[in-house]
Amino acid sequence: MSATSLLLASVADQTPRFHQEKPHVRSVVPVVRYATLLRHEPRLTDDETHRVHEAMHAMWPEWKTRYAAALAKHANVLIGDVWFNPEQEVRYRLDGKTPMIDLPEAVIAQKSPSGISLRNCAALCVHDFSSKIWTRINPVPPKELPVDSLPEVLDRYRSLANLCGEWFHSELKKISNDLLAGPRAANDGALEVTTVGLRVDDAGERGEDFDAWLFDSNGAPQIDKEDFQKFMTQGAVLDYDIREVAKHESVAFWTPMTTAVRLANGDLASRSAMYLVRLIGDDMTQAVGIAFDDSEAGDLASEVALKMSRVLANRL
């Protein structure tokens, strides 16, 4: 057999395997982003958002102790287990058109297997949308969690995001001298964007086919695939067959969302998550997505969650 024939035979052997073998999920990286929505009437002004930031920034050196204590209490750890990134400060920036006040990242119980990274921020909308008091929680990078722990971890993250978000909101109201409270600010529901990165081993070219395990060429979800059913059901905590979303949800849609991640070999690769977006109760929007993640840093869920959050937040 010639060298060329050998080469071609080798390619022929491998090609079907790439397309038939489903990605093996070795661990999970869940990211929960939760926001309380507030509508201001009349709208906030740019000047007011700067005043909130100035107040927050001035208070930070003392207030961070209170903040650490609250995080420790809600996370059920010692206050010494809460660490703030000293390279970060209370920052004012524009996220698109929206003024944002970012608190420094908090790392809670870093050395514990259940350690988390948490960040609170306030998106103070000066346009015709709601302001959002955000809490983001994920494992401390590059930590990955056991596959079986996903339901329990998501339950914990959601509960913690809710508690910490509420606490931060109540503090922000005081700090801003009731600028964000009172009759001017009305509750406008909630937004949750939960994304689960399904870590798979570096699979080389197979990564290009991951999308096909999540959605078909028309963008329709692969709801008959076993892993898709399992992880999406766990992520969204569905008590019915995921194939019956249309029957059970009053308003729901599926959508892929794509981003770019860096692979271990330095290549930049396009990867997607598939999201189910639905209305919960009267005023909560929930987006739950899963993504096969072969990135170097395990940051696909984090990256795509931010992108999805921005797109949804910009329309609520």
Partner 1 sequence: MADTTEEKLRGMIASFSVRREANPFSSLVEKICGVTFVNKTNDPYRKRPKDKESVRIALVSMPFVSFDTVPRSSLSEAIACPDGVDDVAFLRQLVSFKAERADRMFAAFSEALEMALHSTPSADVICFNELGLPATDMVPMLRAKKLAWDKSQEHGALIIAGSAHDSRTLYNTGYIFRPGGPEAGQGFHKSVSARSVGELISAPAHKSVAAVYFAGLRIATMICIDVADYASIASVIKVADGVDVLLVPCYTTKFEKMGAIADLTSKALPGVVALVNADLPGDAKVCRIARFGKSDESTTKMTTPAGAVISMLDINLSQFDEERTRMKTEGAADWEKVEYLFGRRDMPSFTASPKT
CA distance 69 to 170: 15
Establish if 275 lies at the interface with partner 1 (CB under 8 A): yes
CA distance 60 to 312: 30
95, 105, 166, 171: which one contacts partner 1 (CB under 8 A)? Answer: 95
Query: Minimum distance from CB of 253 to partner 1 (Å)?
Result: 5
Establish if 208 lies at the interface with partner 1 (CB under 8 A): yes
| Number of residues lying near partner 1 (CB under 8 A) | 59
Q: How far is CA 209 from CA 17, 114, 227, in A?
A: 12, 32, 15
Cβ atoms < 10 Å from Cβ of 255: 17
Of 35, 58, 39, 69, whose CA–CA distance to 176 is shortest? 58
63, 114, 140, 256: which one contacts partner 1 (CB under 8 A)? Answer: 256
Query: Minimum distance from CB of 225 to partner 1 (Å)?
Result: 13
CA distance 245 to 237: 12
Establish if 310 lies at the interface with partner 1 (CB under 8 A): yes
In the range 209-248, which residues lie near partner 1 by CB under 8 A? 215, 218-221, 223, 241, 243-247
Establish if 21 lies at the interface with partner 1 (CB under 8 A): no
CA distance 302 to 286: 16
CA angle, 25 then 152 then 203, to 5° = 10
Q: CB burial class (10 A; 0-12, 13-18, 19+) of residue 102?
A: buried
Establish if 283 lies at the interface with partner 1 (CB under 8 A): yes
Cβ closest to partner 1, residue 174 vs residue 243: 243
Cβ closest to partner 1, residue 169 vs residue 271: 271
Stretch that binds partner 1, among 104-112, 143-151, 170-178, 258-266 (CB under 8 A): 258-266
Query: Minimum distance from CB of 147 to partner 1 (Å)?
Result: 25
Cβ atoms < 10 Å from Cβ of 112: 12
Query: Minimum distance from CB of 193 to partner 1 (Å)?
Result: 12
8, 9, 79, 94: which one contacts partner 1 (CB under 8 A)? Answer: 94
One-letter amino acid at 155 equals D
Cβ closest to partner 1, residue 97 vs residue 174: 97
Residues linked to residue 287 through DSSP beta bridges, in sequence order: 193, 277
Query: Computed from CA positions of residues 90, 92, 96, 98, in that sequence, does the dihedral angle turn out positive or negative?
Result: positive
Taking CB under 8 A as the rule, which mask of x and - marks residues 164-183 in contact with partner 1? Answer: --------------------
Cβ closest to partner 1, residue 1 vs residue 217: 217
Establish if 41 lies at the interface with partner 1 (CB under 8 A): no
Cβ atoms < 10 Å from Cβ of 57: 14
Query: Computed from CA positions of residues 231, 236, 240, 244, in that sequence, does the dihedral angle turn out positive or negative?
Result: negative
Q: Given the rule CB under 8 A, which residues bind partner 1?
A: 87, 93-97, 128, 189, 208, 215, 218-221, 223, 241, 243-247, 249-262, 265-270, 275, 277, 279, 282-285, 296-297, 303, 307-308, 310-312, 314-316
